[in-house]
Chains A and B, each alone.
Chain A
Amino acid sequence: MNPFSTHAPRSLRGVIWMAVAVVVAASCLAVASLLPEGNLLHASAFVVSLAGKYLSYAMLALAVDLVWGFAGILTLGHAAFFALGGYAMGMYLMREIGARGVYGNADLPDFMIFLSWKSLPWYWWGSEHFIWAAVLVVAVPGLLAGVFGWLAFRSRVSGVYLSIITQALTYALMLAFFQNGLGFGGNNGLTDFKDILGADLHAPHTRAVLLVVTGVLLAASLLAARFVVGGRFGNLLVAVRDAESRTRFLGYRPEQAKLLVWVFSAMIAGVGGALYVTQVGIINPGEFAPANSIESVIWVAVGGRGTLCGAVLGAILVNMGKTLFTAWLPEFWLYGLGLLFICTTLFLPNGLMGLWRHARKPPPEEVTPEVADTQGDEA
Chain B
Amino acid sequence: MTASLLLDMRDVSVTFDGFRAINSLSLALRPGEMRAIVGPNGAGKTTMMDIITGKTRPDTGTVRFQGHDLTRLDEPAIARLGIGRKFQKPTVFEALSVTENLLLSLKGVRSPFAVLMARMNAQERERIDHLLRLTRLEAVADQPAGGMSHGQKQWLEIGMLMGQEPELLLVDEPVAGMTDAETMATADLLREINRTRSVVVVEHDMDFVRALGVGVTVLHEGSVLAEGTLDAVSADPRVIEVYLGR
Using a CB–CB cutoff of 8 Å, the interface residues on chain A facing chain B are 1, 3, 5-7, 228, 231-233, 235-236, 238-239, 242-243, 245-253, 256-257, 259-260, 365-367, 369, 376, 378-379
CB-CB under 8 A from B87, the residues of chain A are 246, 378
CB-CB under 8 A from B111, the residues of chain A are 256
A379 & B120 in contact (Cβ 8 Å cutoff):
no
Q: List 18 A-B contacts (CB under 8 A).
A: A6-B97, A232-B104, A233-B115, A235-B93, A236-B112, A238-B93, A246-B87, A249-B79, A252-B110, A253-B110, A253-B112, A256-B112, A257-B112, A257-B115, A367-B146, A369-B94, A369-B95, A378-B91
CB-CB under 8 A from A7, the residues of chain B are 95-96, 144
Known: A231-B118, A233-B112. A3 touches B76 (CB 8 A): no
B120 & A3 in contact (Cβ 8 Å cutoff):
yes
Q: For residue A257, which residue of chain B has the nearest CB?
A: B112
Known: A251-B110, A252-B110. A5 touches B116 (CB 8 A): no
- Category for how many chain B residues contact A: 35 or more
CB-CB under 8 A from B97, the residues of chain A are 3, 5-6
B93 & A242 in contact (Cβ 8 Å cutoff):
yes
Q: Flag whether B80 is at the interface (Cβ < 8 A).
A: yes
Known A6-B95, A243-B93; 9 more pairs at CB < 8 Å? A1-B142, A6-B97, A7-B95, A235-B96, A235-B103, A238-B96, A250-B105, A253-B76, A259-B112
A367 & B93 in contact (Cβ 8 Å cutoff):
no
Would you give the 0/1 interface string for B74-102, flagging 1 where the beta carbon is closer than 8 Å to chain A?
11100110001101110101111101100
CB-CB under 8 A from B91, the residues of chain A are 243, 246, 376, 378
CB-CB under 8 A from B55, the residues of chain A are 245
CB-CB under 8 A from A366, the residues of chain B are 144
Q: Flag whether B119 is at the interface (Cβ < 8 A).
A: yes
Q: Flag whether B135 is at the interface (Cβ < 8 A).
A: no
A228 & B116 in contact (Cβ 8 Å cutoff):
yes
A6 & B142 in contact (Cβ 8 Å cutoff):
yes
A261 to chain B, nearest CB (A): 9
Q: Which of B54-85 contact A (CB under 8 A)?
A: 55, 74-76, 79-80, 84-85
B109 & A232 in contact (Cβ 8 Å cutoff):
yes
CB-CB under 8 A from B96, the residues of chain A are 6-7, 235, 238-239
What separation, in Å, do the CA atoms of A76 and B86 have in the docked complex?
Answer: 35
Q: For residue A7, which residue of chain B has the nearest CB?
A: B95
What separation, in Å, do the CA atoms of A245 and B87 have in the docked complex?
Answer: 11
Q: For residue B147, which residue of chain A has the nearest CB?
A: A365
B53 & A232 in contact (Cβ 8 Å cutoff):
no
Task: From B96, B105, B164, name the one whose CB has the most chain A CB atoms within 10 angstroms.
Answer: B96
A248 & B112 in contact (Cβ 8 Å cutoff):
no
Q: Flag whether B143 is at the interface (Cβ < 8 A).
A: yes
What separation, in Å, do the CA atoms of A330 and B119 have in the docked complex?
Answer: 51
CB-CB under 8 A from B19, the residues of chain A are none
A250 & B118 in contact (Cβ 8 Å cutoff):
no
What separation, in Å, do the CA atoms of A259 and B115 have in the docked complex?
Answer: 14
Q: Flag whether B46 is at the interface (Cβ < 8 A).
A: yes
B231 to chain A, nearest CB (A): 32
What separation, in Å, do the CA atoms of A253 and B116 have in the docked complex?
Answer: 14
What separation, in Å, do the CA atoms of A246 and B92 have in the docked complex?
Answer: 8
A235 & B104 in contact (Cβ 8 Å cutoff):
yes
B67 to chain A, nearest CB (A): 19
A248 & B109 in contact (Cβ 8 Å cutoff):
no
Known: A239-B96, A251-B79. A379 touches B115 (CB 8 A): no
A248 & B79 in contact (Cβ 8 Å cutoff):
yes
A5 & B89 in contact (Cβ 8 Å cutoff):
no
Q: Flag whether B113 is at the interface (Cβ < 8 A).
A: yes
CB-CB under 8 A from B156, the residues of chain A are none
A6 & B112 in contact (Cβ 8 Å cutoff):
no
Known: A6-B142, A238-B96, A367-B94. A251 touches B112 (CB 8 A): no
Q: Flag whether B160 is at the interface (Cβ < 8 A).
A: yes
6 interchain residue pairs of minimum CB distance = A367-B146, A251-B79, A248-B75, A365-B147, A6-B97, A233-B116
Task: From B116, B119, B147, name the one whose CB has the most chain A CB atoms within 10 angstroms.
Answer: B116
CB-CB under 8 A from B80, the residues of chain A are 251
CB-CB under 8 A from A376, the residues of chain B are 91
Known: A249-B79, A379-B46. A3 touches B110 (CB 8 A): no
A232 & B143 in contact (Cβ 8 Å cutoff):
no
What separation, in Å, do the CA atoms of A231 and B120 have in the docked complex?
Answer: 9
What separation, in Å, do the CA atoms of A233 and B104 have in the docked complex?
Answer: 9
B104 & A378 in contact (Cβ 8 Å cutoff):
no
Q: For residue B80, which residue of chain A has the nearest CB?
A: A251
CB-CB under 8 A from B147, the residues of chain A are 365, 367
CB-CB under 8 A from B89, the residues of chain A are 378-379
Q: For residue A377, which residue of chain B has the nearest CB?
A: B91
B88 & A5 in contact (Cβ 8 Å cutoff):
no
B115 & A232 in contact (Cβ 8 Å cutoff):
yes
A39 to chain B, nearest CB (A): 48
B116 & A367 in contact (Cβ 8 Å cutoff):
no
A305 to chain B, nearest CB (A): 12
CB-CB under 8 A from A365, the residues of chain B are 143-144, 147
B100 & A3 in contact (Cβ 8 Å cutoff):
yes
What separation, in Å, do the CA atoms of A240 and B84 have in the docked complex?
Answer: 18
What separation, in Å, do the CA atoms of A7 and B53 have in the docked complex?
Answer: 32
Q: For residue A251, which residue of chain B has the nearest CB?
A: B79
What separation, in Å, do the CA atoms of A367 and B100 have in the docked complex?
Answer: 15
